[in-house]
Amino acid sequence: MDLRPCGRRSPRRAEDDGYHLGMRRSAEQTASTRARIVAIASRRFREKGSRGTGIAPIMREARLTHGGFYRHFSSSAQLFEEALAAGLDEMASRMTVAAARAPAGQALAVIIGTYLSPEHAGAPGTGCPFAALGADLARLPRQSRTACHRLLLTYAHRLSPYLPGRDADSRQRLAVLLFSSMAGTLMVARTITDTRARAALLEDARAFHLARFA
């Protein structure tokens, strides 16, 4: 029978609890640091392109050493894929929030309007990774392009409920087509320096996509 007073712990038990608490905090800190690196990389890749962004500036912005990178990632390709996934998740979340706030029957119109907006065109660092990195993605090795395609399908799946179609597969295919088309339009719009011409292209594109997809 244990005759120790209630509420007291043995020194060994207290030591074990402290060890596990320290391990948990360490794991949480590691996960937080990794997420910060991915978020910075996601923004920088979209702003500057994959070839214009090195590991060193990402780690400097995260206030970490270059050598610390390999505590979190096995390669720059792994970081790039995770950064792409984070950017797509960010964009899909923005679209679904906009759709949820839309008046009844206007969800898809709001998604199209939000994507093909001057604000989105002017902020590649926080926008759709496919619109920001399309040409870079097309030049990646086959394995990386396969990963990009999986991410595109996941992105389209989250937004497909807002599209018309006879079944889930047809809505998914239409979502892939819609966002591929809008990403291409946005890429071209960003090359136009005349603000009126850019705005006109985006306005025409919104009308076209609404007529075709909504």
Q: Are 182 and 112 in contact (CB under 8 A)?
A: yes
Residue 80, domain member (yes or no) = yes
Query: What percentage of the chain has pLDDT greater than the value 70?
Result: 88
How much is the pLDDT for 9? Answer: 53
Residue 91, domain member (yes or no) = yes
- Mean pLDDT score, 130-146: 93
Domain that holds residue 80: 11-213
Q: State the CB neighbour count (10 A cutoff) for residue 68.
A: 13
> Concatenated DSSP letters for 181-214?
HHHHHHHHHTT---HHHHHHHHHHHHHHHHHHH-
Give the tens place of pLDDT for each residue, 53-79. Answer: 899 999 999 999 988 899 999 999 999
Residue 5, domain member (yes or no) = no
Residue 4, domain member (yes or no) = no
Residue 179, domain member (yes or no) = yes
- What band does 33 get if pLDDT is binned at 50, 70 and 90? very high
- What band does 203 get if pLDDT is binned at 50, 70 and 90? very high
Residue 121, domain member (yes or no) = yes
How much is the pLDDT for 104? Answer: 93
- What band does 44 get if pLDDT is binned at 50, 70 and 90? very high
- Mean pLDDT score, 15-28: 58
Q: Which residue has the tokens 């207290």?
A: 14
Residue 170, domain member (yes or no) = yes
- Tell me, what CATH number does 195's domain have? 1.10.357.10
Q: What is the pTM of this model?
A: 0.83
- Mean pLDDT score, 133-161: 94
Whose CA is closest to 175, among 188, 159, 187? 159
Q: Which residues contact 23 (CB under 8 A, 6 or more apart)?
A: none
Total tally of structural domains belonging to the chain: 1
Residue 174, domain member (yes or no) = yes
> Concatenated DSSP letters for 114-144?
HHTSHHHHT-GGGS-HHHHHHHHHHTS-HHH
